[in-house]
Structure 1
Amino acid sequence: MRLLSVAVIASLVPGLPLPALARAGTTYYVDSRAGDDDAAGTSATKPWKSLDKIGAADLKPGDAVSVKRGSKWTGSLSLTAKGTAAKPIVIQPYGTGPMAKISGMDGNCVVVSGDHWRISGLRASGCQWAGFELSGDGNELVGVGADHNIAGVLVTPSGSRNVIRDSRLTANARMSVNDSEPDNDSGAFGVLLNGDDNTVTGNTITGSYAPSVDYGFDGAAVEIFNGDRNLITHNTARDNEAFTELGARKGSTATGNVFAFNVVTSSHKNGSFLVTRGPEHVVGPVTGTIAVHNSVYLPGRVTIGWSCHGGCSPSILKLRNNAISVGGQAGYEDGKGADDAGGVYKGRTYGFKLGPKSVKADPRFVSRTDLHLRPGSPALGHGVRLGPAWFGRRSSGVGIAGPPAAPNAGAYQR
């Protein structure tokens, strides 16, 4: 049987674009030490040299840029091309050695305004504001590093359906505002989400903790401001000032954000797991926040498990099956209070009313840093059963699986 060529097939199918059938993706190579911008760039033996060469390349869906490990650049990498969901544009490492590093205070180090990029193997360090800035749609950061920035990763208001996963965001401990004007300090973010429908999962986020004129210390592993329906799940957070703080500008929203199966520890004397606000607060109301199956150990004296203030109500915050042990206040609510159930709480003080099946008891974590449950823990089998809507199911049907019918309180279900 005679095989038809791609061109013949395209001629027989009206409206079928030839490039989509005929074109395979091209891989380009970049090496800051041995590269040459006058080279072809299409092999590891003839790589390009500069970030500008990547930004100026006419990249198409399915193309890839392989970045030599150990490379170092000062400047900004701007990624404006558009891939597709089926054929993202890929940045990936090759060779041996440490991750390629981009730094420099003249701009954000990696700026992704295009759509459907999949970026791995890059480290953004000591950048002007953010290590990675995502303002496009459907982009993925996987296995990247960001350190010594104001924000390790910034998702702008236009950034949606992006994924930040399996990455290390470390010591992003610089402030953007830190002055004598009261109650306006801001900075030290592992991830700052200003956009909607993004996912932050499987990351290790440490050291988002900086001195603040207003608050003594400030910072958050994952901060949400004006972002809706974001899913923050299965992250490990250590030594941050807060795990999360939520707010919204008046007239904007920060609705329906979900925090599930996160493990939060700190050796600092102060800190918190979750801080959110009602309508009486200047950056409230933040509505529909859900926190389920998180494990938290903050032994410092000036710590709080969760705070829902400025007119708290069940429409502001719902908590289920969390295991929280702190040296300060286990939780705080005002107004009508949060909607709580199935939690195991230990603290010096309690500023909230326990919900159904919630108890005051030591969750009995294995250690300060290992929040698995010891045999005999009161959190074992203690949780209430939850349906899929509690775990961030999107309108598209994408979500995460919940625990079994008799769940533990906390993040660990075995």
Structure 2
Amino acid sequence: MRLLSVAVLASLLPAVSVAATAQASAGTTYYVDSRGGDDGAAGTSAGTAWKSLEKLAAAELKPGDTVAFKRGGSFAGPLKLEASGTAARPITITSYGSGALARISGADDDCVVVNGSHWRISGLRASNCRWAGFELGGDSNVLSGVEADHNIAGVLVTPTGSRNVIRDSVLTDNNRMSVNDEGGDNDSGAFGVLLNGDDNIVTGNTITGSFARSADYGTDGAAVEIFNGDRNRITRNISRNNETFTELGAQKGKTASGNVFAFNVVTSSRGRGSFLITRGPRHIVGPVKGTIAVHNSVYLPAKDTIGWSCHDGCSPSILKLRNNVIAVGGEAGWEDGTGADEDGGVYQGRTDKFKLGPKSVVADPKFRSRTDLRLLPGSPALGRGVALTPKWYGGKAFGKDIEGKALAGSPDSGAYQH
């Protein structure tokens, strides 16, 4: 497991104000206002703001600079960010004023395209874009407090994108397909986050409505999809009404290894859904090796649901599960081959096809409600978890539950500790 860099650890801290960022970096702050701006102005104060993305694209941004978008504005994309900051002096995008986040849209291109590295991006909404709301192709970038909706992918991390952080953002109804034709088993789309790169962190986000009609599958979509991405950490996210929480795959000759899912809360009122789908070596997009799912809480009450599926040659090298609480109206879990490595879980479903670990149990987990997955007194999940070393949940920095409580003593199963 790789250690977190200083830059990534810093990126997990709360965002700072425009003034504080500018002062700390000693760079120039530029302002953009789609309503009251003027591209002939200096752009260095709210009263002399620029008007267009074209003017911003022509600026030679340097490490330590900040770009502030006025709230309530609207722009036709793309916004292409080609420059690079440094770990000590990132380039920052933020907002000023009041009202809704500045909105970037456009059917002809992805909306916010980050090819540079060491950007800190907040205060933007990307909506109804050609493919992705935010596309991260560089390294060590941070998206925080952004919004993305009605795209094929709310956030896309490309194969060249690595060590990026996507946190504390709202990704809603990214519900369009890029491929949607009959036959071929190839429909693709409706992603909250699509990870094609390595060593990225997806944490603290609310992801809802990632599903769309599919000619091949009826409906399809995922809150967080991983394809050809290694060592990504997906932790402490809230997932509501998505087709599945995560699905993993890799092209033959490529890998999607060592991805970790920890302390996520997954609920849905939809008629079908799943928590985790992964594949063994016999599948066309397998094998997906070394996936770890720990301390997740899942409630999918509809009949056409499954907790987790490890198929086409499942084995402990494909999937390990610890301390999850999974209640579904369909199949609690499914494995073939030698099966997954599972323990410390609480499961409820109409059926199941997997071997329970020594501390696991089939029982009603006693959630507070259909959407509040905290545990009631007397829940079999209380104190049921097995003790884990930090590598299980992505490193010591990630050893906190969905509400920020640290693990201690005999842990509870699920995303909430009591």
- Could you say which TM-score interval applies, normalised by the shorter chain? over 0.9
Between the aligned partners of 2:208 and 2:378, the Cα distance in structure 1 is 30
Q: 1:370 aligns with which of 347, 359, 372?
A: 372
The C-alpha deviation readout for 1:309-357, integer Å capped at 9, x for no partner, is: 0100000000000000000000000000000000000000011111121
Between the aligned partners of 2:350 and 2:321, the Cα distance in structure 1 is 20
Instruction: Give the letter aligned to residue 328 of structure 1.
Output: G
CA-CA distance at 1:114 after TM superposition: 0.3
What residue is the counterpart of 1:137 in the other structure?
139
1:169 aligns with 2:171: yes
**1:303 is paired with a residue of what secondary structure?**
strand
Q: What is the correspondence of 1:237-248 to structure 2 with a 5 Å cutoff?
A: 237-248=239-250
1:311 aligns with 2:304: no
Q: 1:407 aligns with which of 395, 405, 411?
A: 411
Between the aligned partners of 2:371 and 2:397, the Cα distance in structure 1 is 31
What residue is the counterpart of 1:69 in the other structure?
71
CA-CA distance at 1:392 after TM superposition: 1.1
What residue is the counterpart of 1:229 in the other structure?
231
Larger radius of gyration: 1
Between the aligned partners of 2:338 and 2:39, the Cα distance in structure 1 is 63
The C-alpha deviation readout for 1:36-79, integer Å capped at 9, x for no partner, is: 11110001000001111222211111100010000101120000
Between the aligned partners of 2:353 and 2:214, the Cα distance in structure 1 is 25
What residue is the counterpart of 1:81 in the other structure?
83
Between the aligned partners of 2:50 and 2:242, the Cα distance in structure 1 is 39
The C-alpha deviation readout for 1:379-414, integer Å capped at 9, x for no partner, is: 011100001110113xxx865456212100000002
Q: 2:392 aligns with which of 390, 398, 413?
A: 390
Between the aligned partners of 2:58 and 2:244, the Cα distance in structure 1 is 39
Between the aligned partners of 1:389 and 1:29, the Cα distance in structure 2 is 43
Contact between 2:201 and 2:233, CA under 8 Å: does it hold in 1?
Answer: yes
CA-CA distance at 1:253 after TM superposition: 0.2
Between the aligned partners of 2:362 and 2:407, the Cα distance in structure 1 is 22
Between the aligned partners of 1:245 and 1:404, the Cα distance in structure 2 is 30
Could you state the TM-score of these two structures normalised by the residue count of structure 1? 0.93
What residue is the counterpart of 1:114 in the other structure?
116
Could you state the TM-score of these two structures normalised by the residue count of structure 2? 0.92
Between the aligned partners of 2:390 and 2:124, the Cα distance in structure 1 is 34
What residue is the counterpart of 1:13 in the other structure?
none
List structure 1 runs of 4+ shifted beyond 2 angstroms.
397-402
Q: 1:291 aligns with which of 293, 300, 321?
A: 293
Instruction: Give the letter aligned to residue 280 of structure 2.
Output: G
**1:45 is paired with a residue of what secondary structure?**
helix
- Cα-Cα RMSD: 1.0
The C-alpha deviation readout for 1:276-305, integer Å capped at 9, x for no partner, is: 000000000000000000000000100000
Between the aligned partners of 1:323 and 1:363, the Cα distance in structure 2 is 7
Between the aligned partners of 2:370 and 2:117, the Cα distance in structure 1 is 41
1:160 aligns with 2:162: yes
The answer for unaligned runs of 5 or more in structure 1 is 1-22
What residue is the counterpart of 1:330 in the other structure?
332
CA-CA distance at 1:139 after TM superposition: 0.3
Between the aligned partners of 1:358 and 1:198, the Cα distance in structure 2 is 31
